[in-house]
Chain A
Amino acid sequence: MIVELDVDNIAKSVQQELEKHVDPNDVLKALTAGMDEVGRRYEQKEYFLTELVLAGETMKEAFDVLKPRLTVKEKGKRKPIVVATVKGDNHDIGKNILITMLVSAGFEVIDLGVDCPSEKIVEAMRKHDAKVLALSCLLTMTMREISVIGEALKHAGLRDKVKIIVGGAPLNMELAEELGADDYAADAIDGVRHIKALMGV
């Protein structure tokens, strides 16, 4: 139902599956497989941004029903990723799509929102012991903030322990490296793939 983008009926279907005593982890696996297929269709240009977003909405509806039934063990396995839009930038479309994809892929996401100062990022990285920081930046005039965040992490003694991945309209791999990031992703699907590689999963 994820692939069919059936946002209106997925919650009911998940509920029915749970009432039939299907293992919640198996339901989650099926949903994740659906999101993977949506990602594949997006990359093949069979699906477009609105379909990707609607799949994310469908996943959220399903997850709301499923989450209370997941075992503590399953929840505990989730590795934390800190996600933020850099200071001075209030755009969150790309960031929010990435978050949905990361949650679907089994990560715990700490969303610091938009216009996020470096101090808040350092604090969150430390608090959650996150190994990956994903930064979104849509504006040319805010991309220098990526360097500021890198410096703040260095100053806090965390830079060597974390990987920074960036994405957004003005960026590419060359600029990402110039700004001190470790990696760049062209879109949310690519982002999940790169983050998995950075995490070694």
Chain B
Amino acid sequence: MDAPTRVMKALNHEEPDRVPAFESAFTNNTIMEHYGIAAAGLSSGIDALKHLPFKTRVANYAMSNRSWLAKGMVNSYEFLRRVKIDIGLSFVTHQQRKIVEGGMIDEFGRLMKFEKYEGDGTLILGYRGGHLHSFEDYEKWERPDPNEPKRLAAFLAGKDVQKQMNNEILSVPAIGGMMEPSWEAFGLETFSRILGHPKQAKKVFDDNGKLAVELVKILADQGAELILVWDDYGFKNGLFMSPQNYRTYVFPWLKQMCDEAHKRDSRILLHSDGDLMLIFEDIIKCGVDALNPIEPTTANPDYDIFRLAEKYKDKITFVGNISPVMLAVGTVTEIEEYSKRLIRELAPGGGYIFSSGHSINPAITVDRWEAVMRVREKYGSYPIRIPD
């Protein structure tokens, strides 16, 4: 069975040949190298860019060229194939507006910088603050254009690589949602002030909502079977803003995104970290098809994938959730037992995609990752038969 069929069957709550797998981010040079993939490409590309004149223009050109983009994706997709992860991403939004020392300001106005993990040199692009310091700054900021050709180039490049790999990977376009681009453009302090002014808040959320809905239409029209929406609504201790604010500013757009995707036979995979307990049913009502990562390390013991699945498993596909902390410091036995439990309790009948509960970061060791691989290989084929 190829990866698109496997993933779509799981999303349809049917049993494919094996439990599909996904990671929202795999930033771990050691594991990549263990599977024979050199991770130096990104690092050397960034180093080379530092010395070039007109670096923003050069980077923009590179990001608009479908064949260059495809070449850049081959290694990461090949790595995913080797570790039996079914979904690879193409980045349709979050593109750079300006290159700055150590990173970039992206099109939403977020300052992003590369951080290098001392252990194995893994580079991680992380959020470092908002570039916009007021609503007036926001009004002057040129809004991202959904029709910018480089977006489609990124999506099509991913599909080219998927085809080259005989559909052993499903390439999924990833776009920004409403919450994350809205607050991160300003930083939490300025954003919280803007939220105190409902007209300003509405303008910011509506702009990001319109962009996201247009992108869903464009990508689904181009044949995207599944679209990933990055949009953290919560963190360890709860929600960023009140459920009512989500209902006012975010969910009407999320619902439109889902509706437009479904009209075109496409699906929405929402990635939101944090404890989403208070808005879990809202997310389902919006029509979200799959939710990642059901973070297992929140402070809320009720935000538990197994309990949530008892109640909502027939309504949404769960994509999670082995703890990255367990993967970094847990024992191999703990990892195996939790992985087995995920498959045993969530996979029967479909509606489940295996994943970590956040991402695969550089602290995760090869032996622990291999423990996950062993469980997936030994117990991940349908029909699921795992002894208690």
**In the bound complex, do residue B238 and residue A186 qualify as a contact, i.e. CB atoms below 8 Å apart?**
no
**In the bound complex, do residue A140 and residue B361 qualify as a contact, i.e. CB atoms below 8 Å apart?**
yes
Interface string of A39-63 (1 = CB under 8 A from B): 0000001011111011011000000
Instruction: Answer yes or no: B236 CB below 8 A from chain A CBs.
Output: yes
Binding site for A on B (CB under 8 A): 113, 115, 117-119, 126, 128, 183, 188-189, 191-193, 195-196, 235-242, 245, 278, 297, 299, 324-325, 328-329, 361-364
Write out the residue numbers on chain A whose beta carbons fall within 8 Å of the beta carbon of B237: 49, 186-187
Contact with B241, one of A7, A49, A56, A93 (Cβ below 8 angstroms) = A49
Write out the residue numbers on chain B whose beta carbons fall within 8 Å of the beta carbon of A53: 188-189, 192
Write out the residue numbers on chain A whose beta carbons fall within 8 Å of the beta carbon of B363: 139-141, 143
Most buried by B among A45, A93, A170: A170
Write out the residue numbers on chain B whose beta carbons fall within 8 Å of the beta carbon of A47: 242
Most buried by A among B117, B128, B192, B239: B192
Secondary structure class of chain B's binding surface, majority of residues: mixed
Write out the residue numbers on chain B whose beta carbons fall within 8 Å of the beta carbon of A8: 196
Secondary structure class of chain A's binding surface, majority of residues: loop
Bound Cα distance A47, B244 (Å): 11
List 8 tightest A-B contacts by C-beta distance, closest first: A141-B363, A54-B192, A53-B192, A50-B192, A50-B241, A187-B237, A140-B363, A170-B325
Contact with A141, one of B117, B191, B236 (Cβ below 8 angstroms) = B117
Instruction: Answer yes or no: A24 CB below 8 A from chain B CBs.
Output: no
**In the bound complex, do residue B325 and residue A57 qualify as a contact, i.e. CB atoms below 8 Å apart?**
no
Most buried by B among A45, A49, A91, A139: A49
Contacts A140-B328, A141-B119 given: A90-B188 contact, CB under 8 Å? no
Instruction: Answer yes or no: A5 CB below 8 A from chain B CBs.
Output: yes
Write out the residue numbers on chain A whose beta carbons fall within 8 Å of the beta carbon of B278: 45
Write out the residue numbers on chain A whose beta carbons fall within 8 Å of the beta carbon of B241: 48-51
Number of residues of chain A lying within 8 A (CB) of chain B: 28
Write out the residue numbers on chain B whose beta carbons fall within 8 Å of the beta carbon of A22: none
Write out the residue numbers on chain A whose beta carbons fall within 8 Å of the beta carbon of B189: 53, 56-57, 96
Bound Cα distance A172, B325 (Å): 10
Contacts A140-B325, A170-B297 given: A51-B119 contact, CB under 8 Å? no
**In the bound complex, do residue A169 and residue B242 qualify as a contact, i.e. CB atoms below 8 Å apart?**
no
Instruction: Answer yes or no: A156 CB below 8 A from chain B CBs.
Output: no
**In the bound complex, do residue B325 and residue A175 qualify as a contact, i.e. CB atoms below 8 Å apart?**
yes
Write out the residue numbers on chain A whose beta carbons fall within 8 Å of the beta carbon of B236: 169, 186-187
CB B360 to nearest CB in A, in angstroms, measures 10
Bound Cα distance A93, B184 (Å): 11
Instruction: Answer yes or no: A180 CB below 8 A from chain B CBs.
Output: no
